[in-house]
Each structure stands twice: as C-alpha cells, then as structure tokens.
C-alpha cells in the first residue's frame, strides 16, 4: 500500500467521528420533540391549537404514542373554560386528553397564555350594549381593562351545585353567555371541520370511541348530539358531557344568530343555563337532539351505575365516550387506564362493561373508611330489625338480604344498594361490597355479542 493511500485513510478516521457528531446534531435539531432551553415551546403549542391539521401534520414521534390521531383531522375540539379556573384545570388536559389532537382551541373569557397555549376570548364579539348593561359581564369587563389584577376575592369563591347551578359564582354566571358566540368563533378558526366537539374542563372524552361512533353518521347532514337535559320545553345537550355538532348544524346556528343577536341576548339573560340557550337555537333552526346516553354520561366514571337503565338502554355494551365531573386526578387516572387499554388490548373499543371489569371491579372489593359508595336505599329501623350501631351491623343486614350488593354506614344510618358503584371519598362514611355476589352477578351478564351505538 502506498504512502498516499495510508495518508488518505488516516483522514477518514479523523473525519468520521466529526461527521457522525454533526449528523446527530442535525437530527436532534430537526426533531419536533427535541427540547432545549431556547426551544419555541409556545409557538409549537399555538400551531397545534390554531392551525388546520393540513398545515400541522403529526410527527412520527408524536404519533408513536397517539394511537387515535388518524381520523381526528376531521374533528375540531373546543375546551370552554374561564379565567378563574383555567390555571388549575387546563394543564392536565394538555398532558392527557388534548396532547394528541391535531386541531383544538381553548375558549375562555380572557385571552392569555397558559402552559404555552393561547386562550381565546369567546365573548369578544358580544354586543357592547350587552357587555355594559348585563351585571354578569362585570368580571369580564374588569379582566378586559385590568387583566388578572382585576379579579376580586369574590370571583374566586366556590359554591355548592344547586338546582340552578352555582349562581353565587361570577364566572359561572358569565359562562352562560359563551355558548352561542362559541359557534361563530369555532367556525372562524376551523371552517372546514366536519365535526365540532365542545367540552368543559371537567369533561373527559374517549377519542377512539368517539371516532368510531361519528363514522356511523353522515357529517354532511345537520347533527346535534349529546346527553339529554331539559328546562321547560327545551331539550338540550348537557355541556358537561360534551356537545357534538356537525358542520351543517354549526352553519345553521351561525346564519340564524347573525340576524337575532339582540333577541338571543335577551333570552340568555332570562335563562340560567347557556347550554339550554344553545339547545333552544338548535331547535329553532330545525336540528333535533340525538339523545346520546349512555355513551355520554353526566357523572364521573367512579360514580357511574354501569347496570342502570334509561331510555330503554343499558350502558354495558355501549362504548364509553364521555364522562363529566372529572377532577384533574380523575382525568390523569382514567387517561392512564385508557392508554393502557388501547396499547395492550386486542379490542378497538372500550365498552362500559370493560371499564367496570378492568377499572371499577378490582377497586370495589374491599371495605373502605371515609368512602361513600353512593348506596341509596335507606334501611329503616322497624320492629324485629336490629338497631344499626356500627358499620358491621349494616354489613350484616346487607349479607342477610340476598339482593344486596353493597352498603354504606354513616351518621348512624345504614344504606344498601342492588347496584355496584365505586363512589367518592367522604369523611365519616364506611362502605363495603359483597364480592362473591358481585362475581356471581357478573357471571350471569349476557356477553356483548355486538357493540351498541346510539344513532338516532
């Protein structure tokens, strides 16, 4: 071998490591998921939030853990919130329910950056006359002129949910004015979406189940889908469970409200429920509600009666599409469960029966202190019945009743149930279940030969 050949090869040994390092540096800088202190995190989130999916395709790195991205490009998701709750309730959604969506926006009553996402002022185009004449807009006007410094102590207080919501909370009263304006605001951001899904901060949506369900509808027709509620003669979709509208339904609402803004403002001022106002508008434009229960539920997953019946349906063989009343911890826990299910399971859907067997049942087979399993049948102290002095007395009564599946004891009162619910923490209450009976009950449940969908 000549001296010149050896000299050339020595340069190869010197340059190869350098070229390799340059290649790794280029790949790292090119990766959308790469992070440095100077990475444009805010700009990346703003693109995900506001740009149509055609201009913001998911990267292979994101898609590797986003099993349900395919098909979501036709759906625009709106999370509707407010300034007094967004800081506490939005971050968990950004890490869970929203993290894989190619197209979504956060609608609020104040425009600001939260965890890298820009919130959208839903009320910006409400008539000035309404903003200055309606007391509900006082908090909004303070936010508009003073920013967060304009919030008062009264704006932060909580209230017990009553038959008319939480009327003592200024942000809650303002919220009713967002429902009709959010239709136009959503269309402006995503005019080409086939479906629009409106959620609350305590909503949880199972996206793969939603996509499988919506695929059975003709998105070219006007559809209004949600869990039914009623005020007076208006039947409407409960916003906590999610409001689903097709593009034609959105367009009908937009065209109708453009000519009747004053009339709708007057109706809103006399109605405490904004989702009812939207339901009234949809009724007026000839788009009836598809009653989605039990696919969309009005309760937390832990408070759901999976064996109940309503509207001639039972949850068991229906896909679980949405829940309401979910706290940030609930959202994280259910997200982890859902991800594990779709990642490791052979099923392409998550039925309510699956949720009960895999998530609820295993956690309700032991007695729990400071826990209320929502047993609802009080046991009266009649002649011949024992006096209930303890939780063990209540448990004994349940054991003697062959139909009793669970019990709770608190404040000297014993309650039993013929259903099975996990429940919620509550100080001073002792809850228990009948594991053997539950196993026997499940053994005789008819297997789901097919998936049940609500389509009309």
Domain 366-448: give its CATH code. Answer: 3.50.4.10
Rounded (to 5) percent helix, strand, coil in the chain: 45, 15, 40
User: Which strand ranges, in their side-by-side order, compose the sheet holding 368-372?
Assistant: 368-372, 424-433, 406-410, 413-417, 377-378
CA atoms within 13 A on the CB side of 254: 16
Task: Give the residue extent of every domain in the chain.
Answer: 42-291, 366-448
Q: How far is CA 209 from the centre of its chain?
A: 13
Domain 42-291: give its CATH code. Answer: 3.90.550
CA atoms within 13 A on the CB side of 284: 14
C-alpha to C-alpha distance for 250 and 220, rounded to whole angstroms: 11
Whole-Å CA distances, 18 to 15, 26, 283 = 5, 12, 68
Instruction: For Cα atoms 56, 57, 62, give the angle at the middle one, nearest 5 degrees.
Output: 110
C-alpha to C-alpha distance for 73 and 68, rounded to whole angstroms: 10
C-alpha to C-alpha distance for 219 and 325, rounded to whole angstroms: 29
Contacts (Cβ under 8 Å, ≥6 apart) of 414:
378, 379, 388, 393, 394, 397, 407, 408
C-alpha to C-alpha distance for 331 and 323, rounded to whole angstroms: 10
Note down pLDDT in tens along the chain; length 456 residues: 433 333 333 333 334 444 444 433 333 333 333 222 222 222 222 222 323 333 334 433 344 457 556 789 999 999 999 999 999 999 999 999 999 899 999 999 999 999 999 999 999 999 999 999 999 999 999 999 999 998 888 877 775 565 555 666 888 899 999 999 999 999 999 999 999 999 999 999 999 999 999 999 999 999 999 999 999 999 999 999 999 999 999 999 999 999 999 999 999 999 989 999 999 999 999 999 999 999 999 999 999 999 888 888 999 999 999 999 999 999 999 999 998 888 876 667 999 999 999 999 876 678 999 999 999 999 875 545 556 778 999 999 999 999 999 999 998 899 999 999 999 999 999 999 999 999 898 888 878 888 999 998
pTM for this model (two decimals): 0.82
């Amino acid at each position: 071998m000549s001296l010149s050949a050896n000299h050339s090869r020595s340069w190869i040994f010197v340059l190869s490591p350098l070229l390799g390092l340059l290649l790794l540096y280029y790949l790292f800088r090119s990766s959308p998921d790469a992070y440095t202190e100077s990475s444009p995190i805010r700009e990346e989130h703003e693109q995900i939030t506001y740009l149509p999916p055609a201009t913001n395709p998911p990267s292979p790195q994101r898609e590797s853990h986003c099993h349900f991205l395919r098909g979501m490009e036709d759906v625009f998701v709106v999370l509707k919130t407010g300034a007094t709750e967004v800081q506490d309730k939005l971050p968990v959604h950004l890490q869970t329910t929203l993290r894989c969506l190619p197209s979504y926006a956060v609608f609020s009553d104040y425009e600001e950056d939260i965890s890298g996402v820009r919130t959208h002022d839903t009320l910006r185009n409400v008539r000035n006359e309404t903003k200055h004449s309606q007391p509900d807009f006082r908090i909004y006007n303070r936010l508009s002129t003073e920013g967060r410094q304009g919030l008062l102590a009264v704006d932060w207080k909580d209230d017990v949910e009553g038959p008319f919501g939480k009327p003592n909370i200024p942000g809650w009263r303002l919220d009713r004015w967002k429902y009709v304006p959010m239709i136009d605001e959503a269309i402006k951001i995503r005019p080409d979406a086939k479906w629009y899904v409106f959620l609350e901060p305590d909503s949880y949506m199972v996206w793969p189940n939603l996509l499988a369900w919506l695929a059975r509808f003709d998105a070219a027709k006007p559809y209004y889908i949600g869990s039914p509620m009623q005020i007076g003669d208006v039947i409407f979709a409960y916003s906590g469970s999610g409001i689903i509208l097709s593009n034609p339904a959105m367009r009908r609402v937009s065209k109708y409200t453009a000519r009747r803004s004053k009339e709708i403002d007057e109706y809103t001022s006399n109605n405490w429920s904004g989702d009812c106002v939207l339901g009234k508008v949809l009724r007026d434009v000839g788009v009836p509600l598809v009653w989605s229960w039990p696919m969309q539920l009005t309760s937390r997953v832990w408070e759901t009666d999976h064996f109940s019946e309503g509207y001639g349906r039972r949850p068991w063989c229906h896909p679980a599409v949405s829940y309401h009343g979910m706290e940030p911890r609930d959202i994280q826990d259910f997200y982890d469960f859902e991800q594990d299910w779709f990642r490791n399971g052979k099923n392409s859907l998550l039925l309510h029966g699956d949720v009960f067997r895999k998530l609820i049942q295993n956690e309700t087979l032991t007695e729990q202190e400071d826990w209320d399993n929502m047993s609802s049948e009080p046991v009266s102290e009649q002649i011949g019945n024992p006096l209930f002095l303890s939780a063990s007395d209540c448990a004994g009564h349940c054991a003697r009743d062959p139909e009793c599946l669970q019990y709770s004891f608190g404040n000297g009162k014993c309650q039993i149930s013929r259903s099975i619910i996990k429940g919620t923490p509550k100080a001073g209450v002792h809850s228990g279940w009948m594991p053997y009976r539950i196993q026997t009950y499940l053994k005789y449940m008819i297997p789901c030969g097919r998936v049940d969908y609500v389509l009309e």
